[in-house]
Amino acid sequence: MSLKEEFATRNFSIYGQWLGILAMLLCFALGIANIFTFNVFIIIFSVLCLVSSFIILFVEVPLLLRICPTSSTFDNAIRKISTNYMRAGAYGVMALVQWLSIIARPTSLIAAAILLSATGVCYLLAGIKGQAFVGSKTLGGAGVAQMIV
């Protein structure tokens, strides 16, 4: 199934997964960009944004759990975030953390909060509509990990 065909399925979990990849890239970039401020609270939120980007990487690209040397505790924690509702909750928590960064000072971390919120909404809509989670084959979903091993 090509990327165009995946988007044509109208499955919100596919939209959520691709928005998650965009959120991961944005969190990484904004985390690094905002870490060089003189505000301790913004630095803390920047580090949390960077941590979120790595969590998203392992959640959205399941193939990495097979090829990266990580602990079994980390693997089990990431594997728990497998349903649409769990992903919506995880993105909701990460978005809330970034929304709270506004308390210290409004920065570009707001963009990460918006994209994380949109991703969480996509996964929530997939759960509400009863759509099964469908991982994108491009990102290591159904069957790609077995093809490599």
Q: What is the pLDDT of residues 18-71, one digit of tens each?
A: 899 999 999 999 999 999 988 899 999 999 999 999 999 988 887 787 888 888
Could you give the CA distance from residue 149 to residue 136 in angstroms, rounded to a whole number?
18
Could you give the CA distance from residue 11 to residue 96 in angstroms, rounded to a whole number?
25
Could you give the CA distance from residue 29 to residue 34 in angstroms, rounded to a whole number?
9
Asked if the model's pLDDT at residue 94 lies above 90, the reply is: yes
- pLDDT score of 69: 83
- pLDDT score of 118: 95
Asked if the model's pLDDT at residue 133 lies above 80, the reply is: no
24 and 57 Cβ atoms separated by less than 8 Å:
yes
